[in-house]
């Protein structure tokens, strides 16, 4: 297992931000992962698990403890059953399943990071979420000190959330298993209007899975949502805020604020969640509160391609990023009474 001391963490994150870790281990087998976690826990050393670093905001002071980078490999496809080692690169795995003619995760193409992190926030995009195809997650449970297999029903998946996110210091994901669909090379029914529109079909129709994947990649690239080291709009964690989900009373107050501020005919995006609550769009709120694409004059700014991505233009510090994030949260709250919540995981800092 590779071991480094006083190791910079910024290069391991897509923001390129954050100070060093006291110790950085890189594990390439499940046994190494488990041994490193057991050793840290036995000595009471704080532990930070790092996959692709694409959903992490690490403080400028760094991490006083052991950072464990998961670099395990393993892609096993048997019929429609897929097992991925936690360290596998997610977007490559998606490409391989599409090449094999299988449906179920093709619209999750282009999401950076590791397979092992996908259950943590139930990654989703363009009408698909991993919770629809994950059958079980194999994880090391730091409470019971055993490797456990957790079926989908016990993962408490919801919008950008799961049991793993709710209990952040408990599970280290080792493997993720999926059930994909054999649909004669076709995609799953397209659930997202923008994708269907871009492909010239009705929502709910199937298209060749490879075409769905390519369309999603193209749409994502246009929004700076595919990693490109040359493009500072992608030095981000993707969406910085989750879409707010409001109960009936909060939604009523919000609508009144929108009408008062923007006029009686303005209707914010509204997606009923089926339980009496309504999801609205964080990007819309940010934009309508006056933080438009490219907002900011420092080294941390809103992406020029997408209002929801906060970005490092080069030379930013985590404090620069957090100052921008706090300004956006305060501005949206002042305008609409809604408090935005950050999607990426913060380490040693908070908004
Ligand atoms: C340009 C861009 C676009 C993005 N688009 C999307 C999108 O469309 N949809 C979406 O949902 N997300 C999106 N994201 C966010 C991010 O890519 C995902 O959340 C991804 O799953 C994070 O994976 P990672 O390996 O980089 O995790 P990291 O950033 O390394 O870690 C994130 C969290 O998961 C924990 N973690 C990582 N691996 C493990 C493990 N094996 N076991 C236990 N805990 C672990 C970490 O400790 C941390 O708390 C985007 C990010 C970027 C930069």
Domains of the chain: 2-70 (3.30.43.10), 75-222 (3.30.465.10), 232-347 (3.90.78.10)
Report, in this order, helix, strand and coil percent for the chain, each rounded to 5. Answer: 30, 25, 45
CB atoms near residue 151 (< 10 Å)? 11
> Which parts of the chain are beta strand (E)?
2-8, 20-27, 47-50, 56-58, 63-70, 75-78, 81-85, 102-103, 124-125, 128-129, 134-141, 146-151, 171-179, 181-182, 245-246, 271-272, 278-279, 300-302, 310-312, 345-347
- Whole-number Å distance between alpha carbons of 172 and 70: 10
Would residue 50 be called left, alpha or beta, if left means φ above 0 and alpha means ψ between -120 and 50 degrees? beta
- Do residues 180 and 105 lie in contact, with contact meaning Cβ atoms separated by under 8 Å? yes
> 343 catalytic, yes or no?
yes
CA distance 254 to 243: 14
Are 90 and 104 in contact, with CB atoms under 8 Å apart? no
**Predicted pLDDT at 55:** 97
For residues 308 and 150, give the distance between their C-alpha atoms in angstroms, rounded to a whole number. Answer: 33
| Contact call for residues 171 and 164 (beta carbons, < 8 A) | yes
The dihedrals phi and psi of 216, each to the nearest 5 degrees, come to -60, -45
Q: Quick one: pLDDT at residue 277?
A: 95
Residue closest via CA to ligand 1's atom 10 equals 123
Can you read off the two tokens belonging to residue 189? Answer: 């029914």
Ligand 1 centroid – CA 261 distance (Å): 36
Q: Is 160 a catalytic residue?
A: yes
Q: Model-level pTM?
A: 0.95
Task: Report the separation in Å between the CA atom of 343 and the middle of ligand 1, taken as the mean of its atom positions.
Answer: 10
How far apart CA 199 and CA 188 sit, in angstroms, is: 14
Q: What is the pLDDT of residue 215?
A: 97
**Which protein residues touch ligand 1 with a CB less than 6 Å away?**
14, 49-56, 70, 86, 111-114, 116-118, 120-121, 123-125, 172-173, 225, 227, 234, 236-238, 345
- Which residue carries 């994947």 as its tokens? 213
Q: Which residues contact 249 (CB under 8 A, 6 or more apart)?
A: none
* Rounded distance between C-alpha atoms, residue 276 and residue 288, angstroms: 25
Rounded to the nearest 5 degrees, what angle is found at the Cα of 220, between the Cα atoms of 215 and 222? 100
* Per-block mean pLDDT, blocks of 10 residues, the chain (351 long): 97 98 98 98 98 98 98 98 98 98 98 98 96 98 98 96 96 98 96 94 96 97 96 97 95 94 92 92 96 96 97 97 98 96 96 92
Question: Taking a C-beta distance cutoff of 8 angstroms, is the pair 213, 220 a contact?
Answer: no
CA nearest to 83, candidates 173, 203, 157, 168: 173
Task: List the residue whose alpha carbon is closest to atom 14 of ligand 1.
Answer: 238
CB atoms within 10 A of CB 282: 23
The Cα 351–Cα 187 span in angstroms is: 39
Give the position, in ligand 1's atom list, of the atom nearest the Cα of 52. 26
Residue at token pair 């908004």: 351
Q: Give the whole-angstrom CA distance, residue 285 versus residue 276.
A: 21
What pLDDT score was predicted for residue 115? 98
Distance CA 43, CA 93 (A): 36
By the 8 A CB rule, do 213 and 314 touch?
no
Q: Residue count of the chain, please give it.
A: 351
């Amino acid at each position: 297992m590779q071991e480094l001391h006083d190791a910079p963490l910024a290069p391991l994150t897509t923001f390129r931000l954050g100070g060093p870790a006291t110790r950085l281990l890189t594990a390439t087998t499940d046994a190494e992962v488990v041994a490193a976690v057991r050793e840290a826990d036995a000595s009471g050393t704080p532990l930070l698990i790092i996959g692709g670093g694409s959903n992490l905001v690490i403080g400028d002071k760094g991490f006083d403890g052991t950072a464990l980078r998961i670099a395990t490999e393993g892609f096993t496809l048997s019929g429609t059953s897929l097992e991925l080692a936690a360290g596998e690169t997610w977007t490559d795995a998606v490409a391989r399943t599409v090449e094999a003619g299988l449906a179920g995760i093709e619209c999750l193409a282009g999401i950076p990071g590791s397979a092992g992190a996908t259950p943590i926030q139930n990654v989703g995009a363009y009408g698909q979420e991993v919770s629809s195809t994950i059958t079980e997650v194999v994880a090391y449970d730091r409470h019971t000190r055993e490797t456990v297999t957790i079926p989908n029903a016990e993962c408490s998946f919801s919008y950008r959330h799961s049991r793993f996110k709710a209990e952040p210091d408990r599970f280290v994901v080792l493997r993720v298993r999926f059930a994909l669909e054999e649909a004669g090379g076709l995609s799953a029914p397209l659930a997202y209007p923008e994708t269907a529109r871009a492909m010239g079909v009705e929502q709910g129709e199937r298209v060749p899975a490879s075409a769905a994947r390519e369309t999603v990649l193209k749409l994502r690239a246009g929004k700076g949502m595919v990693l490109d080291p040359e493009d500072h709009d992608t030095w981000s964690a993707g969406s910085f805020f989750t879409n707010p989900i409001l109960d009936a009373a909060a939604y009523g107050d919000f609508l009144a604020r929108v009408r008062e501020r923007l006029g009686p005919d303005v209707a914010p995006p509204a997606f009923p969640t089926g339980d009496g609550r309504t999801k609205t769009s964080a990007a819309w709120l940010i934009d309508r509160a006056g933080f438009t694409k490219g907002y900011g004059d420092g080294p941390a700014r809103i992406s020029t391609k997408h209002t929801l991505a906060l970005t490092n233009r080069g030379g930013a510090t985590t404090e620069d990023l957090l100052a921008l994030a706090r300004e956006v949260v305060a501005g949206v709250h002042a305008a609409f009474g809604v408090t935005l919540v950050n999607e990426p995981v913060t380490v040693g800092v908070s908004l």
